[in-house]
Amino acid sequence: DIQMTQSPSSLSASVGDRVTIACRASQNISSYLNWYQQKPGKAPKFLIYAAYNLQSGVPSRFSGSGSGTDFTLTITSLQPEDFATYYCQQSYVPYTFGQGTKLEIK
Amino acid sequence: QVQLQESGPGLVKPSQTLSLTCSVSGGSISSGGYYWSWIRQQPGKGLEWIGYIYYSASTYYTPSLRSRVTISVDTSKNQFSLKLSSVTAADSAVYFCARVRTVAGLINWFDPWGQGTLVTVSS
């Protein structure tokens, strides 16, 4: 299985800040990497596919980059509704997720 | 748009079989083009993919659970189901069903998701 490792596991930021979350794959996954946002008690929400393509309706302050084994999710100008846990997921079966990054309000 | 809804017992005894159903509305499983998945999340933990099924009943299961998992589909009811045998407390989790959208080859993702259902394994 391909292991996905996210860093940091948690971070604190303020409204208006720019944050970056990293995701590393244990082997080359090209650009087959997705990002999700999960709020407490809710199902994950799909944000980005194939490393950098925004799902329709996702605000443009979200962006993704990377290829191979190293990827990032960047949120510019944090909004109150962005405080949540973020997961990366690679697209080779068996699908695997990162352990999550909890974004908290400072 | 397509919506998914999980249903099933919230409490299962150790060594028994966990059974859940995902009902799909707003679209037909039989129309093809999508895989239908189960994913779980243990309390306070991350997401673990369990497996998927195609409308033709073709399946793929994650290796760590393969010996205990069965996913089936009922196209007449527009539902798919999960059975997990010989459960222990470690199988206590929120279980989500989700659709796998594939654009091309390995460009695929989970969307939408059901709201999730909590299953506790306890005597």
pLDDT in tens, B6-48: 999 999 999 999 999 999 999 999 988 899 999 999 999 999 9
Omega of the bond leading into A8 within 30 degrees of 0 (cis): yes
Averaged pLDDT of chain A: 97
Task: Give the list of residues 6+ apart from residue B59 with CB closer than 8 angstroms, or none.
Answer: B51, B52, B53, B71
pLDDT surpassing 90 at residue B106 = no
Q: Which residue of B has its CA nearest to A97?
A: B47
Q: Which residue of A has its CA nearest to B95?
A: A43
What pLDDT is attached to residue B33? 86
What pLDDT is attached to residue A29? 97
CA distance linking residue B55 with residue A88, whole number of Å? 27
CA distance linking residue B7 with residue B77, whole number of Å? 14
- Of B60, B67, B65, B33, nearest in space to B48 by CA: B65
pLDDT surpassing 90 at residue B105 = no
pLDDT surpassing 90 at residue A65 = yes
Contact B6, B99 (CB under 8 A): no
- Of B29, B44, B50, nearest in space to B96 by CA: B50
pLDDT surpassing 90 at residue B103 = no
pLDDT surpassing 90 at residue B104 = no
What pLDDT is attached to residue A76? 95
Residues of chain B with pLDDT > 90, as a percent, come to 89
With H, G, I as helix, E, B as strand and everything else as coil, classify residue A81. Answer: helix
User: Cα–Cα distances in Å, from B36 out to A31, B4, B15, B115?
Assistant: 23, 10, 26, 15
pLDDT in tens, B66-79: 999 999 999 999 99
Inter-chain touch B106–A30, beta carbons under 8 Å: yes
Using 50, 70 and 90 to split pLDDT, how confident is the model at A26?
very high
Using 50, 70 and 90 to split pLDDT, how confident is the model at A39?
very high
In chain B, what residues touch A90 (CB-CB under 8 Å)? none
Strands of A1-106, DSSP E: 4-7, 10-13, 19-25, 33-38, 45-49, 53-54, 62-67, 70-75, 85-90, 96-97, 101-105
What pLDDT is attached to residue B28? 94
Averaged pLDDT of chain B: 96
Q: What is the mean pLDDT of residues A10-29?
A: 98
> Which two three-digit tokens encode residue A14?
């303020």
Task: Kindly report the nearest CA distance between residue B55 and chain A, in angstroms.
Answer: 18
> Which position has the token pair 């971070």?
A11
What pLDDT is attached to residue A52? 97
Within 10 A of A60 (CB to CB), how many other CB atoms are there? 7
pLDDT in tens, A72-102: 999 999 999 999 999 999 999 999 999 999 9
Using 50, 70 and 90 to split pLDDT, how confident is the model at B116?
very high
Residue among A49, A89, A94 minimizing CB distance to B107: A49
B 11-70 residues inside an 8 A Cβ radius of A: 37, 46-49, 60-63
